[in-house]
Structure 1
């Protein structure tokens, strides 16, 4: 799946850990030809499905990432993506991808996720997702069992995290394709 030139990046972490901001930062810095496969978009908006073991979004995320890679897009898969539900799909993606694959876990303590959530600019999201929700969803060190993730600590700034991922994946030396 994909080519030797395509890059697969998996960004995981708890709610409000910065995954979507990192993904957006990667796209902003890299440019075109970088597909964003967001768990929230596919699970909540496309399927309107609850996050549960064996749910349809797991396969849809995997298929979407495979399609984007096969079409020549560098691909970022991002979401909470609980290890007990998504590990097999994510590890299969990494195993099957012919190019560079890197997985990152944003390790942000619960108190910091609560603070970060409070800074989100969407009032509807603030009302819909409470601190009680964040506490209920939080899983400390929910790493993939295969040990393929690089842990990014909470004190890594957004800019530092984006720069690190671009460097470690080699995207900092790849020219974007104007599609």
Structure 2
């Protein structure tokens, strides 16, 4: 049974940290994690526009993951406008999809960003320019992650959702 976990939300909301913690909470070799930033910035070195090749690359990696791993995590801002169609197609491919949106205020994401190692990589102004308010996919099972949940609580919730289904 293949399971897809989608973690979406604005920059600085904690998606990458949660994805890594979640991946490492499962036995080694059972979870493939695909980060939008790693694919788009690090692998492809391209801008995030509507025709960027990161969409196809993420889709291709996820298909590979579906064939070889029981659990695939895709995390990133993953705006509905640019990535929504691809995520919708992947939802059909996997046996189960668990979709989560980090629904946080701009102030909360800025505060969290200030606590990160890469806090000097981009500014609050950059974050404001990238901000997408309430950019839900509107998947039937999309769940909201609020500011009151800690990283540990989020990982426990996601693990429970994945194992119970």
| TM-score range relative to shorter protein | over 0.9
Count, aligned residues = 164
Tell me what 1:18 maps to: 14
What is the CA-CA distance between 1:138 and the residue it aligns to? 1.0
Counterparts of 2:143 and 2:55, CA distance in 1: 22
Residue segments in structure 2 that go unaligned for 5+ positions in a row? none
* TM-score (ref. length: structure 2): 0.94
Q: Hey, what does 1:78 align to over in structure 2?
A: 75
Query: What are the Cα deviations for residues 12-53 of structure 1, in whole angstroms up to 9, with x where unaligned?
Result: 000000100110110121131110111000000110010010
Q: Secondary structure at the match of 2:72?
A: strand
CA distances 1:74-114 after superposition (whole Å, capped 9, x unpaired): 100000001111000001100121x2211100111100111
Structure number with larger C-alpha Rg: 1
Query: Of the candidates 120, 125, 128, which is equivalent to residue 135 of structure 1?
Result: 128
Separation in 1, partners of 2:45, 2:84? 21
2:150 is the alignment partner of 1:153: no
Q: CA deviation at 1:145?
A: 4.0
